[in-house]
Amino acid sequence: MLLKQIGIEFEVINIDIDESVNKNEMPSDYIHRISVEKARAGKELSKNNLPVLAADTAIVLDNVVLGKAECKEDAIHMLNELSGRTHDVLSAVTVIGKKEITKANISKVTFKVLSKDDISHYCGTGEPIGKAGGYAIQGKGAILIKKLEGSYSGVMGLPLEETYQLLSDCG
């Protein structure tokens, strides 16, 4: 887990919130809102006074948030859209301690041009299901990527630089 990588001990709090994008909601507003809602839900369920951290990441192509691939067909469609193009990966991290603070990170990911076979093979692994944009950079999806500008950990779902800053501010 990414938090262990930076020496942070943690306890997982399972929450359930609606992660739907609101009508006319900008992608940056969306990730900020979801990150805050997750942190607030976690704080309500927390059994101690420790800071609560939550994050959200969205794949954005042409200013549209691509959701999680729910099935193979979703993944195929998304990967065809991403093929040969650059998209944004927006991540927001919220920490609620003595105060509530949110930081955001934007990375740019460029996919190589994907053939039908590339997409079929990758989708056949099952990895794209449940993944935003239909891929996982930390898994087999790494072979789809030509270039990354920004935070590798942010594309994975938790930008470590911003996370460390927020947790440091909380003590």
Calculate ∠ Cα 19-112-104, nearest 5°.
35
Q: How far is CA 40 from the centre of its chain?
A: 18
- Choosing from 16, 18, 29, 56, the catalytic residue is 56
Residue 18 designated active-site? no
Q: Are 60 and 97 in contact (CB under 8 A)?
A: no
Residue 142 tokens read as 């790494």
Q: How far apart are CA 98 and CA 48, in angstroms?
A: 13
Neighbours of 144 (CB within 10 A): 21
Active site residues: 56
